[in-house]
Amino acid sequence: MTEQWPWRGEGLTLEQILLWNQTHTSLKEKRPEGWVLSHEVIGQICIAREGNKFTKYMGHVPCKLVYTTNSTKGKGTWWPRPPEGYWTLSWDGNCIGNNITQLCWKNQTEANPFTEINELQGFQENPGNTSVSWKSPDGLFWICGKRAYHELPKKWRGTCTIGIIQTAFFLLPKQKGDLLGVPL
């Protein structure tokens, strides 16, 4: 039944992903693949793979910052510009602290924005790797176009971002009450 419900996705910032990894408990359960989303998602940071080595089309999301590769070897390129640093949980003299999020910003030219996120770090370091499938961190999804996936196949193609999904509606309790000011 849940596969028929409308689902909405949301791309996450690096800060949100890093904080998610610190507070989320592992689900350790098999999740369905290819959740259909009712709304377009705008990715904060995306990875794009194009070229004839990547054969399984997954979809495209519009993105604010994209790392693109068209080869199974070597590095890719950033658009519109490379990141100028990354967020970390480690506070030291080489970063700018944020007391609200308890994260620290490390300035670094052409940084891997996923440096502190173990499950994602290698994907940006070797975006053309076709020897492993791309698993999302537990509780998060790869969002590619209007679908969300727990895992991308080894030879995936398209533009994808990390995000969350949620139902695009909410349920009200059946018992009567005047909580909303309208009859149920």
Tell me, what amino acid is at 86?
Answer: Y
State residue 21's pLDDT score: 56
How many angstroms separate the CA atoms of 136 and 125, rounded?
A: 16
Q: Which residues contact 166 (CB under 8 A, 6 or more apart)?
A: 7, 8, 10
Beta strands (DSSP E) in the chain are 7-11, 35-36, 43-49, 56-60, 63-69, 77-79, 85-88, 96-98, 103-107, 134-135, 141-144, 147-149, 151-152, 156-167
State residue 100's pLDDT score: 87
pLDDT tens track for 2-61: 455 667 676 777 676 766 655 544 555 455 567 888 888 999 999 999 998 999 999 999
pLDDT tens track for 141-150: 999 999 999 9
State residue 62's pLDDT score: 95
